[in-house]
Structure 1
Amino acid sequence: MNRKNNRLFTILLVLMLALGLLAGCSSANGNMAKSDGNGMTSSQSLADSEAASEAESLTNDAKADSAPSANGTDEAIAVGGGLSSDTSSAELNGLNQKIIYTATLNMQVEALDAAATSLRNAIHQSGGYILQFQDTKHEGEIGSSYTIKVPASGFMSFIDRIEQIKHSSFERNIGGKDVSEEYVDLESRLKARQLVETRLLAMMDKAVKADDLLKFSDQLSVVQQEIERIKGRIRYLDTNVAFSTIELRMYQTNQNLNVEREEAKGLGGRMSDALASSTKVVWDAINLLLVVAAGAVPVLIVIALIGIPLYWIHRKRKRDSSNKTVD
């Protein structure tokens, strides 16, 4: 009897365990199905949210492109294609520094023509060119002003070569401007604008309504103008980084000019100068006498008005005195 009861108890226990396992599996399957349903709903909502966000971001960027942004990294992030601040800093640190070098030189030379020839030779040897040139002539001084572009790699050697030109005085002021950060910012903004341009072109291909096509066309025009402005600025920076700018002024004073003129004159020239100097002295003396005479005329008139009557009176008295003596 006890053995029979134990067998019955074992069978009941096995049945209860089997029912428990079946209930657990059913609950797990239900939870998985519910989780899959919620996941599909969440994914669909996320996709809709991303699509709406992208459309809104594209519209805002197309409107904002009419004015350059002060922060190119933020603009890139706004359209989903930019660089984070950490990435931008990493690029800036890894990028070769872009520095624009400039120099202002002022030198007094003993012979301007010879110095100009030496300067042109130095420019040619350095691979540079003259961007602007101007001659100046003042009383006692002649000079020339140059704006010169030379390769940045030979910037200092070119200045040293200029300093070797024979001169009386030499002044120089050298400076540099680091545009590496601006260059990275421009590249980031350019990528962002090009991404907007690509999306607008894709939307124009899919556009059905004429109003939508016109709107996308206007936005595309604004974006492309901004792209050209950014590219132009990048080209400007590239050119000025590759070629440094030197402002040079060379001048010759009157003393050196007079020495050159005396050396260039022969015997005939010196005789001509002597004759001209003598003639000038005589003419100056005549002018002085005429000026003195012109100034003395009023005084002479007054003296004549007073002196002539006195002279006649004195002469008449003398004549009368002589007549009385004779009598």
Structure 2
Amino acid sequence: MKSFPLLTLILTICLLAGCGMFDSSSERTADFQEDYPQENASPRAAKAAGMLASDAAAETAPPPTAPAQRRMIIKTANLALEIESYDPWMTLVKERVEHFDGFIISSSTRQVYKNARRGKLTLRVPQPRFEELLEVLKASAVKVSGENISGRDVSEEFFDLEARLANQKRTEKRFQEILKSAKTVEDILAVERELSRVREQIERMEGRRRFLQDRVSLSTIDVDWHEPYPLGGGSQGKTLWDKIAEGFERGFEGFADVLQSLITFVISTIPVAIFLALLIWALQRLRRWWRGRATS
């Protein structure tokens, strides 16, 4: 029973730092009193719990005139560009991205025709330079085939997260103070268990806050680009034998596609064919049995 006042104080902190913060402290206190009657707790523990609740309510009360909070907007853009030539275009993009203090996240390139390439590019740039880089990218293209700009407001989530994080840090500080005055092994283990839980929540909230700050401070631009597609699939400048060889190559590719489709069809119909064969066999057996029974 010596550790009961300390456990009472720990439970009070846990209740006050719960999901509802301190908005529903009266309901939580009623539940607490129902589980742990006041006559079983020492006057000292009850007084400490009351002081703790008063301090917590005072700390979490919002200031009378809170300053206007800035908006937290995650900006993203998708561009579809036709460029004249990949190599000089990519050199220009790298220079401008570095000039705007941005960086390239990923880049992919593939050849669609023998004389044409296409690929994708993902960029991150500080939000104040977002529109400038978009204009540079569009100006560097021969044609802008598509453009999509979107923004997601995460202000409410971010500032609510900051408030809950501050509350959890205050709870952590109180548990640290209680740990210093813990006397028994049971008390120490109970406080350390609650400290571990609170710190886990703090780490998770801080990770989410860092993620939101990163997404807000750095905007993302996805670019789907391609070089001009030559007429006739890039047949300019080819000799007769090149065209004949390309025709054979395309014919073989077409035959391979047809053969692949046929094999896929046969494999996919095997289960259906087996089921139909079993059904026909069962019907024939049933028919023979019925005829034999009728003749007898």
- TM bucket normalised to smaller: 0.5 to 0.7
One-letter code aligned to 1:107: L
**Could you tell me how far apart the structure 1 residues matched to 2:163 and 2:90 are?**
45
- Find the counterpart in structure 2 of residue 154 from structure 1: 129
Give 1:276's aligned residue: 241
- 3-state SS of paired residue (1:254): coil
Q: 1:183 aligns with which of 158, 164, 175?
A: 158
Q: Aligned to 2:187, which of 206, 212, 228?
A: 212
Structure 1 residues 189 and 148: CA distance shift in structure 2, 3 A: same
CA contact (8 A) 2:103 2:124 kept: yes
Residues 277 and 234 of structure 1, relative CA distance in 2, 3 Å threshold? closer
> Structure 2 unaligned runs (5+)?
1-5, 29-52, 249-296
Percent identity between the two aligned chains = 23
CA drift at 1:142: 2.6
- Who is 2:100 aligned against? 126
**What is the deviation of 1:139?**
5.5
Q: Which residue matches 2:13?
A: 58
Matched residue SS, 2:123: strand
- Matches of 2:25 and 2:171 in 1, distance apart? 10
Match of 2:138 in 1: 163
1:200 alignment partner in structure 2: 175
> Which has the higher mean CA deviation after the structures are superposed, 114-123 or 99-108?
114-123
Determine which of 233, 249, 254 is the counterpart of 2:229.
Answer: 254
Aligned to 2:230, the other structure's residue is in SS state: helix
Aligned equivalents of 1:89 and 1:276: distance in 2?
A: 85
CA distance in 1, matches of 2:79, 2:99: 19
Gaps of 5+ in 1: 1-50, 263-269, 284-327
RMSD: 3.5
Equivalent position of 2:110 in the other structure? 136
Secondary structure at the aligned position of 1:97 is classed as coil
Q: CA deviation at 1:133?
A: 1.9
Q: Is the Cα–Cα contact under 8 Å of residues 10 and 191 in structure 2 kept in the other structure?
A: no
Q: Which residue among 81, 90, 105 is the counterpart of 1:107?
A: 81
* Residue in structure 1 matching 2:215, options 240, 253, 276: 240
Give the deviation of 1:176 after TM superposition: 0.9
Compare 238-247 and 105-114 and name the one that shifted more.
Answer: 105-114
Shift of 1:60: 2.8
> How many residues get paired?
213
Alignment of 1:293-304 (within 5 A): none
1:246-274 CA-to-partner distances (Å, cap 9, x unmatched) read: 11111124317966x95xxxxxxx6xx53
Q: TM-score, normalised by structure 1?
A: 0.56
Of structures 1 and 2, the larger Rg is shown by 1
SS in 2 for 1:202: helix
Per-residue deviation, 1:136: 3.3
**Shift in alpha-carbon separation, 1:175–1:60, aligned structure 2, 3 A:** same
User: Is contact 1:72-1:188 (8 Å) kept?
Assistant: no
Partner of 1:174: 149
TM-score by length of 2: 0.61
Contact 1:75 1:189 in 2 (8 A): no
Q: Can you list the C-alpha shifts for 1:114-169, whole angstroms capped at 9, x where unaligned?
A: 32222212212211001122223445763121111001011111100111113233
Tell me the amino acid that sits aligned with residue 77 of structure 2. A
Per-residue deviation, 1:183? 1.5
Q: How much has 1:54 moved relative to structure 2? A: 6.0
Where is the helix percentage greater, Structure 1 or Structure 2? 1
CA distance in 2, matches of 1:209, 1:146: 61
